[in-house]
């Protein structure tokens, strides 16, 4: 299972919640969650090819 598939699965299971995944020192979120978090916390976000 790829990392993006895992995030998608977690997001479906945790509807209504923002899903973060810890990758080493960092926490990662994707899709609408990433956009929401970046706006609320004034952070930059990076797009993965799947979400472009």
Interatomic CA distance for residues 6 and 40, integer angstroms: 24
15-31 tens-digit pLDDT: 899 999 888 898 888 88
Per-residue pLDDT tens over the stretch 5-16? 888 899 999 989
Question: With 90 as the cut, is the pLDDT of residue 34 above it?
Answer: no
Q: State if pTM tops 0.75.
A: no
Give pLDDT, residue 49.
Answer: 64
* Separation between Cα atoms, residue 7 and residue 29, nearest integer Å: 8
Quote the tokens at residue 25: 């020192």
């Amino acid at each position: 299972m790829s990392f993006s598939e895992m995030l998608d699965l977690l997001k479906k299971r945790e509807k209504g919640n923002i899903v973060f995944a810890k990758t080493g020192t960092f926490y990662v979120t994707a899709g609408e969650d990433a956009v929401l978090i970046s706006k609320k916390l004034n952070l930059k976000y990076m797009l993965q090819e799947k979400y472009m």
